Copies of this chain bind each other. A is one copy, B any other.
């Protein structure tokens, strides 16, 4: 059975919060474990997930998230994002979600491909050395679209 019969998922990751970092990495990792081709294109805020200095500091926002039961008037106080993020990390780890860096490793071991968005890198003043070694290539939207044209599942996160 040739590669052309493999299923394929192509995900664009535009968010860089901790809660929105999990879905693309989990979906891609699971897809790759099912022997699908899996490609993730990191752009805009999503770039933080593959940036060395940022990946371990991803946060969720305590403010403006009505699903977290904390009044905004408290949530804006200094340290609250950090506190809520810490609580979420504990909860996730307890039920078996690995930290983001481990999930990234898992993705790569399963064969997921990571791409950094070239124009976003320029906008954020990033060079190749700023990115995780796990990044396979730096590309533009055109290259990613051509990759996604025959995908079974395409998602924007």
Contact = CB atoms under 8 A, between A and B. Distances in A.
Interface of A: 7, 9-12, 14, 16-17, 19-20, 22-23, 26-27, 30-31, 33-34, 36, 43-45, 48, 58-67, 71-73, 75-78, 80-81, 91-92, 94-97, 119, 122-123, 140-142, 145-146, 148-157
Contact of A154 (B33, B91, B155): B155
Contacts of A17: 66-67
B152 A153 contact: no
Contact of A66 (B61, B91, B94, B140): B61
A58 B65 CA distance: 11
Contact of A26 (B71, B91, B141): B141
21 contacts: A12-B23, A14-B20, A16-B66, A23-B44, A30-B140, A30-B141, A33-B142, A34-B145, A48-B67, A61-B64, A61-B66, A63-B64, A75-B76, A96-B119, A96-B122, A97-B123, A148-B152, A148-B153, A149-B152, A151-B152, A152-B154
A80 B91 contact: no
Contacts of A153: 10, 145, 148-149, 151, 154
Given A7-B149, A72-B75, A152-B154, 14 more contacts: A11-B156, A16-B67, A19-B44, A19-B45, A30-B142, A33-B142, A63-B64, A63-B72, A73-B77, A96-B119, A145-B153, A148-B152, A151-B153, A155-B155
